[in-house]
Chain A
Amino acid sequence: MNRLQSNPWGKGAAAVLLLVCAALSGLFGAFVLRGLLYQGVDSWQDTGRFTTLLQERQASVAALVADSLAVGRLPLGDYTNEEQWAMGVETWESAGGTYLIWPDEALSYVQIRRYEQDIETHAALLDPEQTWFRFQVRTADGTLTLGGNLGPNETMEGAVDTVYYATFQMGEYWVEDSSFSWTGPDAVGGTAAESNPELTAQPVELMIECGVARELNDTIPDGFQQLLAEYERERANFGSHVTGCLIFLALTAACTVYLMWTGGHKRGVEGIFLTWQEKIFFDLYLIAMAAACVVLLAMAIQSGEYLVRLWSRDVSVTSLDQLSAGIYTALFCGAATGMAAAVTLTLRTLAVRLKARALARSTLLCRVLTALVRILGEFFRNLPFTWKAAAAFLLYFFVNLILFTNQYYWGSGPLWLLLNGAVLLFLCWWSVGMGRLRKGSRAIAAGDLNHRVDTRLMPYDLRLQAEDLNNISAGLSSAVDEKMRSERFKAELITNVSHDLKTPLTSIINYVDLLKTTRQTDPKAEEYIQVLDRKSQRLKKLTEDLVEASKASTGTLTVQREKIGMGQLIDQALGEWTEKLEDRKLTVLTNLPEGETWVYADGRHLWRVIDNLLSNCAKYAMEGTRIYLDLTRGKGQVKLSVKNISREPLNVPPERLMERFVRGEESRTTEGSGLGLSIARSLTELQGGEFQLAVDGDLFKAVVTLPQAN
C-alpha cells in the first residue's frame, strides 16, 4: 500500500493520464456541443441551418428574377431567350394592372454580360439537376405563375413534403441589384422609377413557393445533402459522444482521486512530504487557481460559442473555416485540460495539507486570525487579576445598561436577557471551579496527598491556582513517600542486622554459660565470667528491643484492636510485676473507677506499654517510694497515669526521654536498653492513643490516653 502510494512512476502516469483524459473529454464535449445543434427537433428541416440554406436559396431566386428583369428578360419559365425576344413581350398583366417591362436600353454590354453571368450562376444553383431545392415564383396574389424549377408535370405539393413561402418586392431587387448599372450618365433615359412612375408607386411583390424535393438524390452534392448527412451522422453519434465525454470525465476524476491519495507520500520519506506547493499559503493558492479557472472557463465559453456559430452556419464551410474550427476545438480542449489540472492541483495540495494536519497552519487567514486571538488572549490573561475583574465588570455594566435602556427602542430585551444569562452561566462556571479548588485544598489539608484537583474546563485563573495546589500536594506526597520508604528501609535493616546479631550472640551466651560450669583456677575469672554473662544478657535484651522499637515506630506491626478491659489488664500486669516491685521495696497504689473500663486496643501491644512503664518503675524508681497507678475515664477517653519518684535526678526534658537510647541517667551502666519509653509511645500511637510524659522535679509521670469503648 505504501509502495503504491509513494511510487513516482505511478504518479507521473496518473498525471499524464489525467491531462489526456481531460483533453479527450474536452474534445468529446465539443462533439456533444455540435450534436446539440441537431437535438430537440423533429426533422432535419426544423434545424436552423436548414432555414439558413432555404433563405440563401430564396435570395438566389430573388436575385435571379431581379437580374433577369434587369436585362429585360422574362425570368424563369420554359422560354428560351430567343422565344422571349421573339414573342416581344413587353407587357404582362396581373390583377393589379398592366405593367410594362422593357429592356434597358442604357445597359452597356459589360453590364449585360455581368447580369447574364449572374443569372447563369443562380440558374445553375437552382437547376433541379444540381439541387434538392424546388421552387415556383408567383405574383403575390398567386394568380400568375412566373416559373420555377419543377418538372413539366410536377406540382409544388407533389414535389415537396413541406412548402415554405417567402415574398419579396421586385423594386428592391431591381433598384439594388441594378444600382451600379445606373451609375452611368442619366441622360440615356433616366431611372426606371422616373420613367415608370407606376412602377415606383406600386412595386411588384412576388412570392416564392419552395421546399426540398421529396425524392432525394444522394448524388447531388448540395448543401441540403450535406446538412442531411451531417444531421443523420450527428443524431446517430450523439449518444456515443455523450458517453465518451462522461467516461473521460470519470477517468479524469479517478486520476484526481488517485493523485489526492498518493499526494504527500514520497519514496524513502517517512510521514507526509511537503512540496514547494504546500509552502504557498492555501488561501492564496486557492485564489490563484480560481483565477486561472475563471480565465480558462472564459476561454472555453468563447471558443465554444464560436464553434456553435460556425457549425450552425451554412454548410458550405471553406477549408479556412475548418482550420479555425480545429483551432477553436483545440482551444476548448486546452481550456478543459487546464481547468482539470488546476482543480486537481488544488485538491491534491488540500489533501496533502489535511494529511499533514497543516491546513490551518498553511492558511494565511487562519494564521492571521490565530495570531490575533492569541495576542489578545495573552494580553488579557497577563493583566493583573483586579484589572481583569474591573474591566470585565465595566464592560458588562455598560453593555447591560445600553441593552436595558434601549430595549423599547431597539427591542434589545432578548439580548439583555441573553447577556445576563451568559453572565450567570459564567459565574456558575467560576463557582464550580472554585468549589473544586476548595474541596481539593481541604482534602490535601486533611492529609490525602494523592488528591489531585481536576483542572479540566476550569477558568484560567483558577486553573493556575489548582495547578499550583496540585504541585504542592505532589511535592508533599513524594516527600512523604520518600520518608516512608527510608523508614521502612531502616526497619528492615535493623531487623536484618539484629537477626545476624542473634546467631553469634547465641554462641556467646551458650559458651559463657558453659564457662560458668567449668572450674576456674583464678578467682578473678569467676568475676569476669559474671560480667560477660550480664553483658551478654543485656545484649540479648537490646537486640530484641531494637527490633521491636523499629517495628513499632515504622508501623510494620499488625494491630488487632478489640474491646479489652483496662482494669483487668492492670490487674494482670500487676500480677506479673508485684513481686519484682516488692523486691525493690516499691508499693503500688492503684486508683480504678467503679466497674470495668473498656477500651479499643490490641491487648498484647497495650500489655507491652504497661509492661515497659512498670519495668521503668522497677529500674529507675527510688526504693521505698510509692508508685501511683490512676485510671480515669471521661469524654470518650480513658487515661492511665503512672507516677513514680526517680532515684536519680531527672535532668532530661520529657521529650528527650522518649527518644531512642535515652535513659534517665547518662552512665548507661544499669540494665535497660533505653528503648522502653520509645516503644511504649510508638505502640500507643499505633493503637490510636496518645502517650505523654511529664517530669516535675523527681516526679516522673507517664500518661497513656486511649479511646474509650462502649
Chain B
Amino acid sequence: MYTILICDDDKDIVSALDIYLTSEGYQTLKAYNGKEALRAVEQNQVHLILMDVMMPELDGIRTTAKLREGSNVPIILLTAKSEDTDKILGLNIGADDYITKPFNPLEVIARVKSQLRRYTALGGAEKGPGLLTVGPIAMDDGAKIVTVDGEPISLTPIEYNILRLLLSHPGQVFSSAQIYEQVWNDPAYGSENTVAVHIRHLREKLEIDPSEPRYLKVVWGLGYKMEKGAK
C-alpha cells in the first residue's frame, strides 16, 4: 500500500487524480499548495508526490528544492508549461519525471507505477556481466531478457539486436544505415526505412509516451540514440 501525495491548486484536477490513483489501489493525500505539501510530507510517510508547478504561495519548483533537502521520495511534476527549459529546470532541481498538462490519465498512472517500482526496488537490480541498463531499461544479454522497471517485455529478434546495439553505446548516435549494417550484417542499400519502423515499435514498447521518448531518442536528421545516464 503506497501513499501518494497529490498537490495542485486546481481542486478538480486533484480529485480526478485521486479517483484514478485510488482505483489503482493507492492511498492518497491531497494538498493545494507547496506549503501544505511540505506539511503533509512531514506528517505522513509518502512514497510519491505528484505536484503542479504553478501554485500560489510556494510553487512546485521551490517545493521540490525544499523536499530534496531531506528526502529522495520520487516527485513527478505536472506542468502547463511545455517549454523545454521548464522541463530541464524541474529535472535539475530534483524532480524525477514530468507530465505536461493536459495529460492523459493512463500516462499518469504509467509514470507513477514506473517511479514507484524504481523507488521501492532500489538497488535490487543486480549488475552482473552482460547486464545493460539505461534508466528503467535493463537487458540481460545472457538470458535474452529485457525489463522495463522490472517488467519483462517481449521483443522481436531484430528489435532486440537494435536495442542491444544502442544500449551498449549509450549517448552515441547511430544512423539508420549504421544500425542496418550492424544488425542485419548487410550493406545498406536504401532499405533503412525498415530500421525506422522497427525503432518506432521498440519505442512503443519501451516508452510510456512514444511521441515524447525519455530514453530511446530520435535525433532528427542524424539517427537514434539511447539517452546516457537518463533517470
CB nearest neighbor in B for A607: B220
Asked if B195 and A575 make an inter-chain contact with CB atoms under 8 angstroms apart, the answer reads: yes
Asked if B80 and A566 make an inter-chain contact with CB atoms under 8 angstroms apart, the answer reads: no
Q: Which residues of A contact B222 (CB under 8 A)?
A: 564-565, 568, 603
Asked if B200 and A576 make an inter-chain contact with CB atoms under 8 angstroms apart, the answer reads: yes
B199 within 8 A of A: yes
Interchain CA distance A579-B16 in the complex, whole Å: 34
A702, chain B: closest CB distance, angstroms: 18
Interface size class of B (residues with CB under 8 A): 20 to 34
Interchain CA distance A544-B102 in the complex, whole Å: 10
Q: Which residues of A contact B190 (CB under 8 A)?
A: 592
B175 within 8 A of A: yes
| Cβ-neighbour of B218 out of A503, A511, A572, A606 (below 8 A) | A572
Asked if B101 and A572 make an inter-chain contact with CB atoms under 8 angstroms apart, the answer reads: no
Interchain CA distance A569-B176 in the complex, whole Å: 10
Known pairs A565-B221, A575-B193, A604-B220; A510 contacts B105 (CB<8 A): yes
Residue interface mask B169-184, A partner, CB < 8 A = 1: 0000001110000000
A371, chain B: closest CB distance, angstroms: 68
Residue interface mask A490-533, B partner, CB < 8 A = 1: 00000000010011011111110110000000000000000000
Interface size on A, residues (CB 8 A): 34
Residue interface mask A563-593, B partner, CB < 8 A = 1: 0111011011011101100000000000010
A601 within 8 A of B: yes
Q: Which residues of A contact B82 (CB under 8 A)?
A: 544, 547
| Cβ-neighbour of B196 out of A502, A506, A574, A607 (below 8 A) | A574
Known pairs A509-B102, A514-B16; A603 contacts B196 (CB<8 A): no
Interface of A, secondary structure class, is: helix
Asked if B220 and A499 make an inter-chain contact with CB atoms under 8 angstroms apart, the answer reads: no
B32, chain A: closest CB distance, angstroms: 14
A540 within 8 A of B: yes
Interchain CA distance A244-B88 in the complex, whole Å: 95
Known pairs A499-B81, A503-B101, A514-B19; A572 contacts B176 (CB<8 A): yes
Asked if A511 and B16 make an inter-chain contact with CB atoms under 8 angstroms apart, the answer reads: yes
Q: Which residues of B contact A544 (CB under 8 A)?
A: 82
| Cβ-neighbour of B12 out of A511, A565, A569, A604 (below 8 A) | A511
Asked if B220 and A507 make an inter-chain contact with CB atoms under 8 angstroms apart, the answer reads: no
B18, chain A: closest CB distance, angstroms: 11
Asked if B196 and A510 make an inter-chain contact with CB atoms under 8 angstroms apart, the answer reads: no
Residue interface mask B1-22, A partner, CB < 8 A = 1: 0000000001011001101100
A571, chain B: closest CB distance, angstroms: 5
Residue interface mask B100-141, A partner, CB < 8 A = 1: 011111000000000000000000000000000000000000
B198, chain A: closest CB distance, angstroms: 8
Known pairs A503-B10, A564-B222, A565-B175; A575 contacts B200 (CB<8 A): yes
| Cβ-neighbour of A507 out of B10, B199, B200, B221 (below 8 A) | B10
Asked if B193 and A574 make an inter-chain contact with CB atoms under 8 angstroms apart, the answer reads: yes
| Cβ-neighbour of A499 out of B80, B176, B177 (below 8 A) | B80
B78, chain A: closest CB distance, angstroms: 8
Q: Which residues of A contact B192 (CB under 8 A)?
A: 568, 571
Asked if A607 and B101 make an inter-chain contact with CB atoms under 8 angstroms apart, the answer reads: no
B223 within 8 A of A: yes
Q: Which residues of B contact A547 (CB under 8 A)?
A: 82
Which B residues, 186 to 228, have Cβ-Cβ distances below 8 Å to chain A? 190, 192-193, 195-197, 199-200, 218-223
Asked if B102 and A505 make an inter-chain contact with CB atoms under 8 angstroms apart, the answer reads: yes
Asked if B176 and A568 make an inter-chain contact with CB atoms under 8 angstroms apart, the answer reads: yes
A244, chain B: closest CB distance, angstroms: 92
Q: Which residues of A contact B223 (CB under 8 A)?
A: 568
B33, chain A: closest CB distance, angstroms: 15
Most chain B Cβ neighbours within 10 Å, of A503, A574, A578, A601: A503
Interchain CA distance A579-B210 in the complex, whole Å: 15
Asked if B220 and A564 make an inter-chain contact with CB atoms under 8 angstroms apart, the answer reads: yes
Asked if B13 and A507 make an inter-chain contact with CB atoms under 8 angstroms apart, the answer reads: yes
Closest 9 CB pairs of A and B: A575-B196, A564-B221, A603-B220, A510-B16, A607-B220, A569-B221, A506-B102, A603-B221, A507-B12
> A503-B80, A511-B16, A564-B221 are known contacts; what are 11 more A-B pairs with Cβ within 8 Å?
A502-B80, A506-B102, A510-B16, A510-B17, A513-B104, A564-B220, A568-B175, A568-B222, A568-B223, A603-B222, A606-B220
List the interface of chain A (C-beta within 8 A of B): 499, 502-503, 505-511, 513-514, 540, 544, 547, 564-566, 568-569, 571-572, 574-576, 578-579, 592, 599, 601, 603-604, 606-607
11 contacts between A and B (CB under 8 A): A506-B13, A506-B103, A507-B13, A511-B12, A565-B222, A568-B175, A572-B221, A578-B193, A592-B190, A599-B221, A603-B222
